[in-house]
Structure 1
Amino acid sequence: MRSTGRRLRIRAVLAAVTVAVAALSGCSTSDNSTTSDGLTKVKLQLQWFKQGQFAGYLAAAAQGYYKEQGLDVDILDGGTDIVPQTVLAQGQADYAVAWVPKALASREAGAGITDVAQIFQRSGTKQVSFKSAGIGGPADLKGKKVGNWGYGNEFELFAGMTKAGLDPAKDVTLVQQQFDMNAFLAHDIDAAQAMSYNEYAQLLEVKNPATGKLYTPEDFATIDWNDQGVAMLQDALWANTDKLKDSKYADQTVKFIAASLKGWAFCRDNVDKCRDLTVAAGSTLGASHQQWQITEVNKLIWPSPNGVGMIDKAAWDRTVAIAKTTKNQEGKTVLTKDPDAAAYSVEYVTKALDLLKSQGVDVTGTSYVAQPVTLIEGGK
């Protein structure tokens, strides 16, 4: 799990940042200055290094959408030692991209952050097995070696098993999954965690030793937590809660969201161009892998019947409920209580959507159809 998995594992170690976040939650976001041409400088903290997962923000910068809104956005790479919601809470960035459960855990620890736009409407997490293993759903995991990344990333898996009547602590053999799919390919794990836009593609970029050709989706079976009713919200845009009380920052937030969503609409309609600009931004992943990643991320965003970035209360409530009630193998939950009302707001994304509609931007993507992607060995 070289990118998504490692990022989430590191960020899930909340105990290491709890004290710092609580102490610094009252800090303001980074002081904004202006460029020589009058643009307001803004910093966006990503969860990981630039890749297709963040293509919409890269497109917003490359296509001049941020500039249209009077913003000069510096897109900051993430890394193994960077927790985006902590960077935001400490005032070292103006906005951050973070998974909802992890960010809410930081908020419960004292981070003053608010979800202002829910970019991913669906979960990208899957449990993958070889079709020959006969795992068609969570109940079939009984008696199997089940891989998971741990550190908070396993709660959809545990919720799915619990819903299927399994005791995760007794009915399966839990395996600490590493940052790649090697153990799964070696059949040391029967069912492995994978993101639809990353690790799953890594499997399809490997040759099947039995055929000498690349593996195909027909070689695998997947459990999609969206289908099982236990999906949790993932990539969202977070803002500083206290700063939102300031009209200047609040207006800036609307403009930032609008430009970002316009970037995602561009990547919906121009996958090839977004692939190229993502590669040009310095991604270490190859072009075919980037094209797959952007396409799969689009599937998590589009269609958005209520408007891209809108926060669906039912999905939010489900995420919170799972975070409060599902225990991992150590008996711990993500949250211990309901987040307060300021944990999310639809005020700013509503205004951003109105702005985009006035520009004629398609903010729902009702007719979106994903185009097939041909992967190359190694994702080149």
Structure 2
Amino acid sequence: MDLKYDMAQLTRRQMLRTAGAGALALGGGSLLAACGSSESSSKSGSGSGGETEVSDQLGWLKLSQFAGFFLAQEKGYYEDEGIAADIRAGGPNIIASQLVSNDKATVGNDDNGTVLQAIAKGTPLIIYGTIFQRSPYAVLSLPDAPIRTLEDFAGKKVALSPATRPLLEPLLESAGVDPSDVDFLPAGPDPAQLVNKQVQGYFGYATQQAVALEQQGVEVVTTLLDDLGLVNYGNVLITTPDRVEQERDTLVKYLRASIRGWEYAIANPEEAGKLVATKYGPKGLDTETEIAVNKAQVPLIENPAGIMRITEERMQQVIDSYAAGKALEKPLKAADVMTTEILDAAYGGKRTLL
């Protein structure tokens, strides 16, 4: 079966770079043009209407994984807080964590592993929240050769990124699977390898590649890496320690409005999908697919304690997973890489803001 996969549905650059996502070999200039420029300075100041300007550098294109920010704009939640939000698309050549650490954006989001690796190298970043409580990164397989457990990897051909392999191998060994019994191959830019049965496993996003395949009538078995033992947040929210100290009120207002936008998106996935497909996303997005993506990502975003919440306990598990794969230059403590004070202030003792 020859799969003509809509490249606009592909997710983050890190699919070929880190375990939480990966670098996608996106061809053509249209998507690059859709990313826009992110090189302008981001020092917070007053907008033309007296609002405080906040630039938010997304980790990838304006797709449904960021729908809540777009809903916050559409519903006027940023305006309510006196914020002029500049939400900037990312792309293959844009690394959000670099732009935020270099004061080219007030805040941003990036892959959890990418951020931890940067912090381990001394980059001034701090995590203050997350979009996904569990990373959507998953191994995709077909029903005739499903991969649901670590033991199921034995004897199979699996396409993945070079950076994912060292994180997966310790998990396989812990389950009694010799990594040499798995035939690892480089992941292509789309899941055609899986559909054409060149491989039995393909690492991609449960909320993008898997959903798009299902929309095209391909039945897929999706197993999150989180369920296999690789604990990871998805799209962590980042800023710099200096901004937390000097611009705390602005960050709280921006986050409070963003939370409201995400709560609305979760409650209204059809509206969110249509908005991404027709207004915010790159040209060529399919509305029904974006609606399906919005529905599929809800379980990974929701948290009884409040969306976007992070904890030191889970972050330490993330750190330990990366340390086991020797992906960090030095040991890290969760308390040193994250803060909950912005979230706490934004929620004000509540668990929901709508």
TM-score band, normalised by the shorter chain? 0.7 to 0.9
5+ residue gaps, structure 1, are 15-28, 207-213, 327-331, 363-380
Q: Please state if 1:194 is matched with 2:188.
A: no
Q: Which amino acid is 1:240 matched to? A: T
Counterpart selection for 1:164 from 165, 172, 175: 175
Give the match for residue 354 of structure 1.
348
Q: Kindly tell me: are residues 111 and 8 of structure 1, through their superposed partners in 2, closer, same or farther at Cα, counting changes over 3 Å?
A: farther
Q: Distance in 2 between matches of 1:301 and 1:87?
A: 25
Q: Distance in 2 between matches of 1:76 and 1:119?
A: 16
8 Å contact from structure 1 (residues 113, 239) kept in 2: yes
Q: TM-score w.r.t. structure 1 length?
A: 0.80
Matches within 5 A, 1:249-288: 249-279=247-277, 280-284=279-283, 285-288=285-288
Q: Distance in 2 between matches of 1:167 and 1:75?
A: 45
Q: Distance in 2 between matches of 1:350 and 1:93?
A: 23
- Residue 242 of structure 1 aligns to a residue whose secondary structure is helix
Give the match for residue 242 of structure 2.
242
Decide which moves more: 51-60 or 136-145: 136-145
Matches within 5 A, 1:12-51: 30-51=42-63
Q: May I ask how many residue pairs the two structures share in their alignment?
A: 326
Q: Distance in 2 between matches of 1:108 and 1:32?
A: 27
Q: Distance in 2 between matches of 1:173 and 1:306?
A: 41
8 Å contact from structure 1 (residues 155, 322) kept in 2: no
Q: Please state if 1:121 is matched with 2:133.
A: yes
Structure 1 residues 244-276: Cα deviation after superposition (integer angstroms, max 9, x where no partner): 221xx1111111111111110000111121112
- Residue 123 of structure 1 aligns to a residue whose secondary structure is coil
Shift of 1:339: 4.1
Q: Kindly tell me: are residues 293 and 118 of structure 1, through their superposed partners in 2, closer, same or farther at Cα, counting changes over 3 Å?
A: same
Structure 1 residues 70-117: Cα deviation after superposition (integer angstroms, max 9, x where no partner): 111111110111110000001100001112111011111221111111
Q: Distance in 2 between matches of 1:57 and 1:242?
A: 24
Q: Distance in 2 between matches of 1:154 and 1:291?
A: 32
Shift of 1:53: 0.4
5+ residue gaps, structure 2, are 24-40
Give the match for residue 374 of structure 1.
none
Shift of 1:159: 4.5
Q: Distance in 1 between matches of 2:64 and 2:287?
A: 10
Decide which moves more: 175-184 or 338-347: 338-347
Q: Considering only aligned residues, what root-mean-square deviation do their CA atoms show, in Å?
A: 2.3
Q: Which amino acid is 1:70 matched to? A: G
* Percent of residue pairs bearing the same amino acid type: 23
Q: Kindly tell me: are residues 351 and 159 of structure 1, through their superposed partners in 2, closer, same or farther at Cα, counting changes over 3 Å?
A: farther
Q: Distance in 1 between matches of 2:147 and 2:239?
A: 41
Structure 1 residues 105-130: Cα deviation after superposition (integer angstroms, max 9, x where no partner): 11112211111112211121221222
Q: Kindly tell me: are residues 340 and 300 of structure 1, through their superposed partners in 2, closer, same or farther at Cα, counting changes over 3 Å?
A: closer
- Residue 193 of structure 1 aligns to a residue whose secondary structure is strand
Q: Kindly tell me: are residues 135 and 103 of structure 1, through their superposed partners in 2, closer, same or farther at Cα, counting changes over 3 Å?
A: closer
